[in-house]
Amino acid sequence: MTITDTDTFAQDWAAWHEEHERKRASAHGFLAITSMRWLAEEPETYDDVPGAWSSGPDGVVVSLASGESLVVDGAEVTGRHAFGVIDERGGVTALFGDAAVEIANRGGNAVIRPRHPDNPVLTGYRGTESYSPDPKWAIQARFVAYDPPVPTTVGSVVDGLEHVYEAVGEIEFEVDGTVHSLIAFPGSTPGSLHVLFRDETSGRTTYAATRTLSVGAPDGEGNVLIDFNRATNLPCAYTAHATCPLPPAANRLSVAVEAGEKKPA
């Protein structure tokens, strides 16, 4: 790779990382979460969100007292409001004042997470250090699809909570002549992939539990680029109010991936 190509590579990475940091530090992003409440059938009130919240067979319900309201899908709601059953890993957001509350389902359990832009975790955030971008870690790889996909249970940073994902295949790649592979899950856009991994830097220079990486869709022959320079931390690296999944056991790499985001300060 020429110096010009290296410079362009670094500039592209810098623009990507700046945008990633901007989203992370948004007013209602995960740094703004002030609590995580697991809902039960008995309604309960909390000090950082309006209403009394409960969850039963028919889904999540909030009962708002006189003078309380939420904005849901652009409309103000008062009194009793039913959000219905939230899909696993799904969620909706309601607004109140300058704050928001996420209503979600994690591991078959209904949960709410209020998000306040004045949360000290957010206002005190000063960015996340990363390794300098290095083309060495942008690796041409091969995707080997599973047929059919394999339901895969992974742990969580929350004790006793499990997540089930459809593993769609493995990404095979080489580092210094040694072949490695990572189990991949569906990504956020059609055909793209998502991996969770640990490596020999985990717990040393990088976050111990996991890092995550988005990978573009493979071409027709299964060729794919896996760019570890864009490995990032999940919310659990910054807040206790997270349910982040842990990597499959097979996704512990026996190499130090000195690329991507480091441990938060």
- The predicted-structure confidence for 202-236, as pLDDT tens digits, reads as follows 999 999 999 999 999 999 999 999 999 999 999 99
Distance CA 122, CA 26 (A): 8
Per DSSP, the three-state class of 186 is strand
Predicted local confidence at residue 115, as pLDDT: 98
| pLDDT of 2 above 70 | no
Mean pLDDT taken over the chain: 95
Q: In what order do the strands lie in the sheet with 75-77?
A: 37-38, 109-115, 99-106, 91-96, 70-72, 75-77
| pLDDT of 53 above 50 | yes
pLDDT tier at 58, thresholds 50, 70, 90: confident
Q: pTM of the entire structure?
A: 0.90
Nearest to 206 by CA among 161, 155, 255, 134: 255
pLDDT tier at 10, thresholds 50, 70, 90: very high
Predicted local confidence at residue 150, as pLDDT: 97
Predicted local confidence at residue 245, as pLDDT: 95
Give per-residue pLDDT as tens, 65-74.
999 999 999 9
* Range list of β-strands (E), 21-121: 37-38, 44-46, 49-56, 59-63, 70-72, 75-77, 80-84, 91-96, 99-106, 109-115
Average of per-residue pLDDT across 164-169: 96
Average of per-residue pLDDT across 30-49: 97
52 phi and psi, to 5 degrees? -105, 125
| pLDDT of 3 above 50 | no
DSSP state of 15: H
The 10 Å CB-count burial string (b at 16+, else e) for 80-99 is ebebeebeeeeeebbbbeeb
**What count of Cα atoms within 13 Å lies in the side-chain half-sphere of residue 185?**
20
Q: Any residues with CB less than 8 A from the CB of 33 and at least 6 apart, and which?
A: 102, 113, 114, 115, 119, 121, 235, 239, 241, 242
| pLDDT of 103 above 90 | yes
Distance CA 31, CA 99 (A): 13
pLDDT tier at 6, thresholds 50, 70, 90: confident
Predicted local confidence at residue 1, as pLDDT: 38
| Cα 167 versus chain centre, distance | 17
